[in-house]
Amino acid sequence: MNYNKFEDQISDWIENSMDIKQRKEFEKFLSENPEYLSKVESIKDVMNMMKDAPSLKTSEDFTKRLNEKIASLKSEKKPMGILGFSKRNFAFLTLSVLGILLLSGYLLQPSFSSYSIVDEETIDNNIDKEEIDKESNEINDIDILNDVNGSFVTDKD
Partner 1 sequence: MSQNLQIQLTGSLTMKDDFKLSDEKLIALFQSGDINAYNELVERYKERLFNFVLRYFNNKEQAEDVVQDTLIKLYTHASYYKNVAKFSTWIFTIAKNNALTELRKNKRKRTESLWTEDGNPLDINSKEQSLDQKTHNEFAINQLNKFLDEIPENFRMAVVLRDFQELSYDEISKILEIPIGTIKSRINRGRIQLAEKMKHFKEQK
What is the distance between the alpha carbons of residues 83 and 108, in angstroms, rounded to a whole number? 30
Q: Which is nearer to partner 1, 62 or 92 (CB)?
A: 62
By CB under 8 A, tell whether 46 contacts partner 1. Answer: yes
Report the C-alpha gap between 57 and 115 in whole angstroms: 86
Q: What is the DSSP letter of 77?
A: S
Choose which of 4, 16, 31, 55 interacts with partner 1 (CB under 8 A): 55
- The single residue among 3, 5, 27, 42 that binds partner 1, judged by CB under 8 A, is 42
Instruction: Give yes or no for residue 148 binding partner 1 (CB under 8 A).
Output: no
Q: Which of 11, 5, 2 has its CA nearest to residue 32?
A: 2
- Residue 7 near partner 1 by CB under 8 A: yes
* Number of residues engaging partner 1 in binding (CB under 8 A): 29
Identify the burial level of 78 via C-beta atoms within 10 angstroms of its C-beta, where 0-12 means exposed, 13-18 middle and 19 or more buried.
exposed
Residues 63-122, interacting with partner 1 (CB under 8 A): 63, 65-66, 69-70, 73
Q: Taking the complex as a whole, how short is the minimal distance between the CB of residue 109 and partner 1, in angstroms? A: 50
Give 156's Cβ-side CA count (13 Å radius): 1
The amino acid that residue 92 corresponds to is F
Question: Least distance from C-beta 77 to partner 1, angstroms?
Answer: 10
CB 24 within 8 A of CB 32: no
Q: Which residues contribute to the site for partner 1 (CB under 8 A)?
A: 7-8, 10-12, 39, 42-43, 45-47, 49-59, 62-63, 65-66, 69-70, 73
